[in-house]
Structure 1
Amino acid sequence: MGEATVKTLEGRTATPSPKVTADGPAPEVAPAGVPAGGRLRRLRAPRRPRIWFEILLIAVSYWTYSLIRNAVPEQKAQALRNADWIWHAENALGIAVEQTVNHAVNSVTWLVISMNYYYATLHFLVTIGVLVWLYRRHPGRYAAARLVIFATTGVALVGYYLYPLAPPRLMNGQDFIDTVLVHHTWGSMASGNLKNMSNQYAAMPSMHIGWSLWCGLIIFALASAPWAKILGLLYPALTLIVIVATANHFWLDAVGGLLCLAFGYGVSYVWYGALPHRLARVPVPVPVPAGPVNLNAARQ
């Protein structure tokens, strides 16, 4: 391999001497003549995440998400009309069994109370747990997987704004049971004393499904133990039953969450050029392309 050369003004060739610091030779820096595509490629390459940045990013992002979601105009009348339309559409499709599931589960006290706590807590705990697991065990895949859930949540905010939807438990003229209120359970922020802290009419799409399915797919794709893969698939399936049994969502809200997740994966694929589980487990350094140095540009 030959050494990099520099063309001088007199036409002679000179070999540039490497810069030396107290810690040894300085790292190679891309010269001014490197095409912009090279810099973009390095920007898009997975890199090892920094814990302080990730904690700050997730905290600020969730605060922003909650702020925007709750600031969306509730539009109660329109949300109730949309709920009626969804319910009639599901009846036409033959899938309107939410009320049957809701009443059946409500008749088993220990089961419905467990589901209330499941709905209120695991949505956050499991998602954070998967992020921590990715950060520690799969740092090369972490950023791509994080982008999936960020893009999924971002497009969901658009759905909340464009299509306000009342959950089944708030519908007029229907016999749905608000399980949190009936059983005096500490549960969803959409019921009881906490209801004023959350937009009551942001049921479409369901981020309980979007986030749980993200967790399940990540675990299934990356976990090595068969039992972990099975749990990964069971988690979104059980979440679907819970959101319906507690009358917080329709089946079609889950479809909305699935579509948002597909969008999130699409954004991540376009940016990183591969699905998260297809990337290297540990970030691979991207080499800095060498190129001739323009001395005239450097002197200006």
Structure 2
Amino acid sequence: MPQSETLRAQAAPPRLRWWTELPLILLVYACYSAGRLLARDDVTTAVDHGLAILRIEKSLHLNAEHPLNRLFTQEAWLGVPADFWYASLHYLITPALLVWLFRSRAVRYRAARTWLMTSTFLGLIGFTLLPTCPPRLLDAGHGFVDTMAQYSAYGWWGGEASAPRGMGNLTNQYAAMPSLHVGWALWCGVMLWRFGGTRLAKTAGVVYPLVTTIVVMGTANHYFLDAAAGAAVMGVGLLLTPLMLRAADRVRGSFALRSGRSPEASPVRSPQVSKGPRASIVSGGCQTSAGERFPRQRESALPTGAGPDASPADTGDGAPAAAR
């Protein structure tokens, strides 16, 4: 391989194994769950942030939450499926798509997983720095009804968020800004649109994040600005993904060098060497023909049993070979 091509050779991505990916995903989910608990006792600040969001939306003439919440509250045939949607799909569709990408789109999986993880950690920063009271937990005078509490008899959740009955105290009900329900749904939509391959998959890629956005507002779990912030977090995560991938590759390469192993890379082929008499090497892998010489060229020693073309004149004295 010419030297210029060798220099342009890029290291191949690491081979992914499910037994290394699964603990990584579980670690991210554990961080996600733990991060939601950090600011759950700061109720006063969370309520202030929720009311500030309402004031901002009012100044912008945005009020999608109230009509949607009234509709879901009055129509059980809409409210109950919406509660199931909010309480379950967030935790089912996302991991299912990760498994699908890992098995059938391995080339794309690493970037997609890194995008999701980076955005999730950005969301955790938002939960910690900006605890926000969701609409359903504001004073009743603000006009919101907690549909999950209203329809709790239909599902496994109780009156405290979407947690299973009796486990509401293990969740942070003030982790509303940004909405990772919307963020993760947007990620799922992009994956289905880009890699689904069928019209049905592309349609689902559009419908799923849109319906999720309607559901989080109609169930009074998020404001419109929470949903917008969730989409913005995913956008920033997408921009940071190439940087995170390069950083991971550098760490992997450094670790491999320290452990005495060369990182997995694309095989770089060395120049082919003839098994017969060694040809003189000029530079950079460019070879001369057998017996051909250039002025001041240094010639490698001929192996034992060199062919009949070898002659005493070709002994590296610097004289050019006879013209042919």
Task: State whether TM-score is above 0.5.
Answer: yes
CA distance in 1, matches of 2:63, 2:49: 15
Question: Is the Cα–Cα contact under 8 Å of residues 123 and 211 in structure 1 kept in the other structure?
Answer: yes
CA distance in 2, matches of 1:238, 1:249: 13
Partner of 1:123: 90
Partner of 2:150: 182
Question: Is the Cα–Cα contact under 8 Å of residues 134 and 174 in structure 2 kept in the other structure?
Answer: yes
The number of equivalent residue pairs is: 246
Higher relative contact order (CA 8 A, sep 6+): 1
Unaligned runs of 5+ in 2: 247-263, 272-283, 285-324
- Shift of the 191–55 alpha-carbon distance from structure 1 to 2, 3 Å rule, reads closer
Partner of 2:116: 149
Question: Is the Cα–Cα contact under 8 Å of residues 134 and 220 in structure 2 kept in the other structure?
Answer: yes
3-state DSSP of counterpart to 1:193? coil
The alpha carbon displacement at 1:290 in A equals 6.7
Partner of 1:91: 58
Residue 170 (str. 1) matches residue 143 (str. 2): no
Match of 2:46 among 66, 71, 79: 79
- Shift of the 182–267 alpha-carbon distance from structure 1 to 2, 3 Å rule, reads same
CA distance in 1, matches of 2:225, 2:13: 35
Question: Is the Cα–Cα contact under 8 Å of residues 47 and 139 in structure 1 kept in the other structure?
Answer: no
The alpha carbon displacement at 1:66 in A equals 0.7
3-state DSSP of counterpart to 1:238? helix
Partner of 2:31: 64
Residues 135-171 of structure 1: per-residue CA shift (max 9 Å, x gap): 1110011011000000000011110111110000011
**What is the RMSD computed on CA atoms of the aligned residues?**
2.6
The one-letter code sitting in structure 2 at the alignment partner of 1:250 is Y
Match of 2:194 among 214, 221, 235: 221
Residues 172-210 of structure 1: per-residue CA shift (max 9 Å, x gap): 231211111112243443696332111111100000011
The alpha carbon displacement at 1:285 in A equals 5.9
Higher mean alpha-carbon deviation, 262-271 vs 161-170, is at 262-271
CA distance in 1, matches of 2:104, 2:174: 38
The alpha carbon displacement at 1:74 in A equals 3.3
The alpha carbon displacement at 1:100 in A equals 1.4
Residue 158 (str. 1) matches residue 128 (str. 2): no
Residues 40-83 of structure 1: per-residue CA shift (max 9 Å, x gap): x63xx434420111111111221122112213353110111111
Partner of 1:6: none
Q: TM-score scaled by structure 1?
A: 0.75
The one-letter code sitting in structure 1 at the alignment partner of 2:179 is S
CA distance in 2, matches of 1:83, 1:179: 18
- Shift of the 230–139 alpha-carbon distance from structure 1 to 2, 3 Å rule, reads same
Residues 76-97 of structure 1: per-residue CA shift (max 9 Å, x gap): 1011111111111111111113
Residues 234-272 of structure 1: per-residue CA shift (max 9 Å, x gap): 100000010001000000001111111012111213345
CA distance in 2, matches of 1:81, 1:255: 19
% identical equivalent positions: 35
CA distance in 2, matches of 1:190, 1:82: 23
- Counterparts of 1:14-93 in structure 2 under 5 Å? 42=11, 45-93=12-60
CA distance in 2, matches of 1:74, 1:288: 57
CA distance in 1, matches of 2:130, 2:269: 48
The one-letter code sitting in structure 2 at the alignment partner of 1:68 is G
Q: Which has the larger radius of gyration?
A: 2
Residues 88-126 of structure 1: per-residue CA shift (max 9 Å, x gap): 111111111301110112111122111111101100110
Partner of 1:194: 167
The one-letter code sitting in structure 2 at the alignment partner of 1:182 is Q
Match of 2:216 among 239, 243, 251: 243
CA distance in 2, matches of 1:106, 1:47: 50
Question: Is the Cα–Cα contact under 8 Å of residues 123 and 178 in structure 2 kept in the other structure?
Answer: yes
The one-letter code sitting in structure 2 at the alignment partner of 1:258 is A
3-state DSSP of counterpart to 1:70? coil
The alpha carbon displacement at 1:288 in A equals 4.4
Residue 260 (str. 1) matches residue 233 (str. 2): yes
CA distance in 2, matches of 1:117, 1:165: 23
The one-letter code sitting in structure 2 at the alignment partner of 1:195 is G
Partner of 2:183: 210
CA distance in 1, matches of 2:228, 2:54: 14
